């Protein structure tokens, strides 16, 4: 990790005119494009799984996603419930909710 006090300033001309920097930028760009392609494919796969789960088990995608989130991040359901409880308390206190 680079020291923040020696942060490199962006200068497109210096990158374009420096063959080493230009190749490095092209490499970074290619890596980002590859990663985004993988993410797009994975999102499509997840969407297909959610559709199959809905079609074969009737389980809503929101529920399956919530279960997956809890499995990946234990305690996420409790945190969401805590946040909802706080919102409910504030909404009641403000007279928005009975």
Q: What is the DSSP string of 43-57?
A: HHHHHHHHHHHHHHH
Per-residue pLDDT tens for 54-72?
999 999 999 999 999 999 9
Residue entry with tokens 């499995």: 71
Distances in Å between the Cα of 81 and the Cα atoms of 8, 18, 19 are 43, 53, 54
pLDDT band at 18 (very low <50, low <70, confident <90, very high): very high
80-96 mean pLDDT: 95
pLDDT band at 79 (very low <50, low <70, confident <90, very high): very high
CA-based torsion, 67, 73, 78, 79: positive or negative: negative
Rounded Cα–Cα distance for residues 12 and 91 (Å):
50
């Amino acid at each position: 990790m680079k020291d923040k006090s020696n942060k490199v300033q962006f200068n497109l001309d210096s990158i374009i005119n420096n063959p080493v920097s230009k190749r490095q930028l092209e490499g970074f760009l290619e890596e980002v494009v590859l990663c985004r392609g993988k993410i797009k494919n994975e999102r499509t796969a997840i969407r297909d799984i959610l559709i199959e789960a809905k079609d074969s088990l009737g389980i809503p995608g929101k529920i399956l996603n919530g279960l997956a989130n809890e499995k990946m991040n234990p305690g996420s359901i409790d945190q969401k419930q805590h946040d909802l409880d706080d919102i409910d308390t504030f909404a009641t206190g403000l007279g928005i909710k009975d």
